[in-house]
Amino acid sequence: MYKCAAIQMASSPSVSANLIRAENLIAEVAKEGAKLVALPENFALMGDNEMDKVRVKEVYGTGQIQDFLAAVAKKYAVWVIGGTIPIAGDNANKVRAACLMFNDQGEQVGRYDKMHLFDVNVPGTNEVYSESNTIEPGAETEIFATPFGRIGLAVCYDLRFPEFFRKMSKQGVDILVIPSAFTLETGAAHWELLLRARAIENLCYVIAPNQGGFHLNGRKTFGHSMIIDPWGVVLDCYKTGSGFACADIDHDRLAKVRNAFPVLNHRRFYCD
């Protein structure tokens, strides 16, 4: 049994200020005994405009944000999943929204690039998002063997595509980690509903760190970072502002649910 944490932030346009806040929260959850810590999407930067992330992008393997993640993972002896950070891609005017995982020695051991990009008009609001203007999509799901189980990484808008998670289920995922920055409106309508559905239909744990609060760029995010068990039970939830949800990953519980209710063995249709 391992304790994990989903950290919630209300990130600003200041990378340095966000990193200070992230470390303070990581230190808090480490004191609580957490061994696996996940940060939200855009934890290091919620810019004044979409091009801000292009201006602070890093080359894969080096840079202020990546160095920070490696350092705090080693300092606090925790595995850290670094939400998303802007990594240089093929297009000089775009970035990859990369979710990086570091082990407790500070070594980078996993990467997933956000595949589904948030190009939408939010119903009932004047909010318009066009992530494809500044982000290159990833192309592959990623599963990583860890001491906590097989972890699958996803980011925010990915949550709305069940076939994406079914593919990871077929690959034997035990824990889904879904760093996000759900808007206030879409979060209120769908956040918990979608997270619990992904946990239930794939019989796995879900760790969902979200942005939560009012941001200096005028954006409002929903918060309610949570950890959910394979039966869809919300084990902990942190509603608004900076903080964290914390709960245990219990592999006996995971095995018991899967053995008693073998939905994954009853599938009749399979994705590629």
Tokens linked to 45: 């930067």
User: 262: closest CA among 171, 145, 169, 161?
Assistant: 169
114 is catalytic: yes
Residue pair 230/203 in contact by the 8 Å Cβ criterion: yes
- HEC string for 52-94: HHHHCCECCCCCHHHHHHHHHHHHHCCEEEECCEEEECCCCCC
- Identify the CATH number of the domain in which residue 90 sits: 3.60.110.10
17 within some domain: yes
**Tens digit of pLDDT for each residue in 53-73?**
999 999 999 999 999 999 999
pLDDT-based confidence at residue 161 (cuts at 50, 70, 90): very high
Structural domain for 216, as ranges: 2-266
Has residue 270 got a pLDDT over 80?
no
The count of other CB atoms within 10 Å of the CB of residue 260 is 8
Count of domains for the chain: 1
145 within some domain: yes
Integer Cα distance of 226 and 210 in angstroms: 8
Task: Identify the active-site residue in 3, 35, 41, 204.
Answer: 41
Determine the pLDDT at residue 123: 83
Task: Say which range, 8-12, 52-56, 216-220, has the weakest mean pLDDT.
Answer: 216-220
Residue pair 199/209 in contact by the 8 Å Cβ criterion: no
272 within some domain: no
Residue pair 212/240 in contact by the 8 Å Cβ criterion: yes
Read off the pTM: 0.97
49 within some domain: yes
156 is catalytic: yes
Task: Identify the active-site residue in 58, 114, 131, 192.
Answer: 114
Determine the pLDDT at residue 271: 61
Burial class (CB in 10 A: 0-12, 13-18, 19+), 78: buried
Average pLDDT score over residue span 17-29: 98
271 within some domain: no
Task: Identify the active-site residue in 156, 167, 192, 204.
Answer: 156
Average pLDDT score over residue span 212-230: 94
75 is catalytic: no
Tokens linked to 89: 């891609």
User: 2: closest CA among 237, 235, 257, 260?
Assistant: 235
Q: What percent of the chain has pLDDT over 70?
A: 99
Has residue 121 got a pLDDT over 90?
no
Determine the pLDDT at residue 10: 97
What pairs with residue 245 in β-bridges? 6
Has residue 126 got a pLDDT over 90?
no
53 within some domain: yes
